[in-house]
Amino acid sequence: MQIPYTVAARPDTGLHNSKLGIWLFLASEVMLFGALFSSYILLRVAAPEWPHGSALLNVPLAFLNTIILIGSSVTMVMSWASLMVKDFAKYKRYMGLTILCGFGFLVVKGFEYGAKFSHGIFPSEDLFYATYFTLTGLHGLHVIGGIIVNAYFWGPGSKMWAREPERFTNRIEVAGLYWHFVDLVWIFLFPVLYLL
């Protein structure tokens, strides 16, 4: 069976199916993170006192992670742009860099978590750490998910380029939309958790 509208736009939506699919998925992701942000606001407003993030968390490491993740968004969009000009070697380089940045983010996050755990600080510590670990943990899982998808498209999945280049380019665009969303969530998480 052939999946319809993977390259051509569907006449009634004006989009190829995977693009509409990813936007609907991202809409559900907005609600998932929105629910957690909403809970965060409620908990913070209701709490008798709330610590300043920078007093408890490592701002320089989070700043470094912000730069890594924004950088990875740029390499991701460049990997798609490389395919648009039919430069597969360049695509491989940029996608490889995106995956490395993803791992870099997780390693830095690992150091942050490790430092907390070694001091006996876990999500059960207090309300602040419970929200911190929940929000960054869920975001971290999204980074891991993105790395898996990107690694597939960098490795075995890239064979599609030889057979169906346009379809493969669309796949990278869609994977990119997800990856940029993960970056976007972090852009809000960083000030909310670390700087306020």
Look at residue 106 and give its three-state secondary structure. helix
Count Cα atoms within 13 angstroms, Cβ side, for 174: 21
Report if residue 148 touches other proteins, rule: CB under 8 A.
Answer: no
Report if residue 100 touches other proteins, rule: CB under 8 A.
Answer: no
Of 185, 187, 186, 180, the C-alpha closest to 23 is 180
Nearest-angstrom CA–CA distance, 89 and 175 = 18
Which x/- pattern, by CB under 8 A, does the window 39-68 give for other proteins? Answer: x-xx--x--------x----x---x--xx-
Q: Pick from 61, 74, 121, 138: which binds other proteins (CB under 8 A)? A: 74
CB 187 within 8 A of CB 66: yes
Contact set with other proteins (CB under 8 A): 9, 13-15, 19-20, 23-24, 27, 30-31, 34-35, 37-39, 41-42, 45, 54, 59, 63, 66-67, 70-71, 73-74, 76-78, 81, 84-85, 173, 176-177, 180-181, 183-184, 187-188, 190-192, 195-196
